[in-house]
Amino acid sequence: MERTILITGVGKRIGYALAKHLLAQGHQVIGTYRTHYDSIEQLGKLGASLHSCDLSDPAAIDELIHHIKAHHDRLDTIIHNASDWLPDNSGLSPSDTMAKMMQIHVSAPYQINLALAPLLTSAAKTNDDSIGASNIIHMTDFVAEKGSKKHIAYAASKAALHNMTLSFASLLAPYIKVNSIAPAMILFNQHDDDAYKAKALAKAILPKEAGNAEIIALVDYLHTSHYVTGRGYAVDGGRQLT
C-alpha cells in the first residue's frame, strides 16, 4: 500500500535514511529540515516534498500544517524525528535551554499531531483493513529512561515525548497507532575519535554500532502491525543491563 508519510528532520542520519528507504518503497514522503544539506537536494531528486521549517517557531509549524492540508488529501504516517541535542552548558540560560528542548521535542509534535490527526483518521478509514492503519511514531532517546548529567533538559523533553505517546495512543485509537522508538548509539559521527567510540560501545552489552537499518526495520514493522500501540521500543544494545 502506498503511504503518504511526514518525517521531520530529514537532513541527515536517521531521518535521511528513513526518507530514502520509504521513497524507494514507493511511498510519498513529506520532509522537513532546518539546515539545507546536500542530502536535501538528493531527496528532492528522488521525489520528496521538502519544506524548510524551524520547529522552534510555532508560526512556522502552522505554515507547514496549512501547506500539508492544502496540498495533500491524505496522510498515513507522521514520524517525529527532528531533534536538537542541546547540552545544559550551551551558554543559554536554564529557562531558555529547557524551553527550547520542550518546544522542539514536545510542543512541536503536540501541535502537529492535533492538527493532522483528522487526515490520519480519514486515511485509515479508506483502507480495507482500517483498524490501526495510520501511524504516529515519536523518536525519543535512551536517556528518557536513564537521565543524563550533561543533557538534563534534553532528557526531560524526550521523556515527556514518550509520555505523550501514551496519551495520543489512547486519544486516537482505534484508527491511529502511536508508538515511540528510543535509540542509543545508532551511528557514530565522522569526527568521533577512537577513544570516544570505545567509551560509547562499552555502555552496551551488544558493543556495536547499530546502523540505520535497525530503525528502518522497526518502522517497517510498526507500519505493518495492526495490534501495537502506546508502546516504546528501545534500540540500545541492552544498555539498561550494564
Kindly state the cell numbers that stand for 78: 507522521
* Length in residues, the chain: 242
| SS3 call for 183 | strand
Other C-beta atoms lying within 10 Å of the C-beta of residue 213: 11
Q: By CB neighbour count within 10 A (0-12 exposed, 13-18 middle, 19+ buried), where does 76 fall? A: buried
What 3-state DSSP class applies to 8? strand
Which of 33, 110, 154, 175 is catalytic? The answer is: 154
Could you give the 3-state DSSP secondary structure of residue 104? helix
Residue 175: active-site member: no
Q: Are 170 and 230 in contact (CB under 8 A)?
A: yes
- Which residues are known to be catalytic? 154
